[in-house]
A and B are shown apart, each in its own frame.
Chain A
Amino acid sequence: MMTEGMQIRVLVAKPGLDGHDRGAKVIARALRDAGMEVIYTGLRQTPEQIVEAALQEDVDVIGLSCLSGAHNHLFAQVIELLKKHHAEDILVVGGGVIPEEDIPLLKAQGVKEIFTPGTGTLAVVEYIKKHALPR
């Protein structure tokens, strides 16, 4: 739970080469409209760039969006790098075209929640409000 008066900071990132950013942008806007500060870094981010931005921006949450099927590889790398920088306290969630059967593996690696197609933005907002760690 966040302390009153602090704003949740979220990095919305598109790892890999996938150019479908409709979902990422809709989510970014919904998070903003829920009072959060959202850093959007655009397309084609490497896991290194994502983690660098997350650390510099001191975000509470990283939201990864991937529709190309490369999620297993890319999400795992982001988690790995966070661990390397002792930043595993940052909440990592993901979304996109992610088959149900991949979810247990992603969660075991450290992605806290996966939002599959059809999830409403409110569900994402509520989840983040509930699970973002206090600074």
Chain B
Amino acid sequence: MLCLDNLRERFLQGNMRALAQSISLVEDNPELGAKLFSLLGQPQGNPRIIGVTGPPGAGKSTLTAKLALALLARGERVALLLIDPSSPFSGGAILGDRIRMHELSGLSDVYIRSLSTRGSLGGLSAATARVLRLLQHGNFSTIILETVGTGQAETDVVMAVDAVVVVAVPGLGDDIQAMKAGIMEIADVFVVNKADRDGADRTKLQIEAMLGMQEGRRVHPIQVLPTIATTGYGVAELTQALDDHFAYVEQSGELARRREKRWHKEFSAYVANILLGDFFSWANRQDIGIMANAEWGEIEVYGLAKKATAQYFTERMKRHVEED
């Protein structure tokens, strides 16, 4: 088992393996993670967190690598978190995004880490928020989070990051209608990748039209940028668009609001988890289990849940009084 003090020390010295081990620690175990966080104190840096999302095959990984290269070229230190889905059957995963990051290998100011969703459906693993917080201690100027790419159900990403890049490709054609819900609304920057393919202009126009329909709900105009990730075309414009976004959200106070919201979401998720865990450990201890009496299919579930919760709170209070 790792010694936390030693880990903290090596981590703060900038040891890359210590960073990697710390990520595993907070990913695997929130309890130990909490201890590590308290040892680390307040993060020194204030990295920008960028999310890259979009359907499978859109070229997210290649684009992410090129974006990282552009940031490195201007002297930034960059961390990449690459999320892949876990198998619903075994819980295992094949994490393969790294294969597209060959241009980043051997470079000193970049850290790449692959994570599995570990069963989480939203496209982001439950532990991702913790890992992102940990990376804030890692002296990075930018953190890029690349999501699973299931196309939909990735609105989780908006809660985890400061800026969302949505990657689309021509040829999805009319499917773009299908992705409008949710994903259109989370974009801070839109990219039409593989822009050398037929239909790129049409895709760009379609997206712009759909964005136009949302005008008024957006804080500032959203750019739709053509890119060709394999050649790096359009990456400079993407970097600029992100800079523009950050300039705007920092000045307007939106960034602070997003981060606060993010903090709240993570906080309430933990509260819910802790309460649920305690509830069930209490419920399972009952001699005549409340749920054991239920006749499945006949009992009105909401009513039962309310009754059980009420009983749980009453007994919990009693014990607190006794303990006092």
Which residues does A use to contact B, with CB under 8 Å? 5-7, 9, 28-29, 31-42, 48-49, 52-53, 55-58, 85-87, 134-135
Contact = CB atoms under 8 A, between A and B. Distances in A.
A104 to B, nearest CB: 30
A37 B99 contact: no
B302 interface: no
Interface in B15-39: 16-17, 20-21, 23-25, 28-29
A61 to B, nearest CB: 13
7 contacts: A7-B28, A32-B94, A38-B92, A42-B99, A53-B105, A56-B20, A57-B98
Question: Which of A28, A55, A85 has the most C-beta atoms of chain B within 10 angstroms of its own C-beta?
Answer: A55
A56 B92 contact: no
B95 interface: yes
A135 B1 CA distance: 6
A5 B17 contact: no
A32 B90 contact: yes
Interface size class of B (residues with CB under 8 A): 20 to 34
Interface stretch (B107-115, B208-216, B247-255, B287-295): B107-115
B101 to A, nearest CB: 9
B95 A39 contact: yes
Contacts of A41: 98-99
Which are the 10 A-B pairs with shortest beta-carbon distances?
A58-B20, A32-B92, A42-B99, A35-B92, A35-B90, A58-B24, A39-B95, A35-B91, A6-B28, A55-B17
Nearest to B115: A37
A87 B98 CA distance: 21
B99 A135 contact: no
Given A57-B113, A134-B1, A40 B25 contact: no
B239 interface: no
Contact of A56 (B1, B93, B111): B111
A33 B1 CA distance: 26
Contacts, number: 88
Nearest to A53: B98
Contacts of B73: none
Given A28-B94, A38-B94, A135 B25 contact: yes
A57 to B, nearest CB: 6
Contacts of A48: 106
A33 B20 contact: no
Interface in B93-150: 93-96, 98-99, 102, 105-106, 111-114, 116, 118
Contacts of A29: 94
Contacts of B1: 134-135
A87 B17 contact: yes
Contacts of B23: 58
A40 B92 contact: no
Contacts of B17: 55, 58, 85-87
Contacts of A58: 17, 20-21, 23-24, 113
B91 A7 contact: yes
A104 B94 CA distance: 31
Contacts of A6: 28-29
Given A56-B113, A135-B24, 10 more contacts: A29-B94, A34-B90, A40-B95, A42-B102, A52-B105, A53-B112, A55-B17, A57-B98, A58-B20, A85-B17
Contacts of A34: 90, 92
B2 interface: yes
B99 A52 contact: no
A57 B93 contact: no
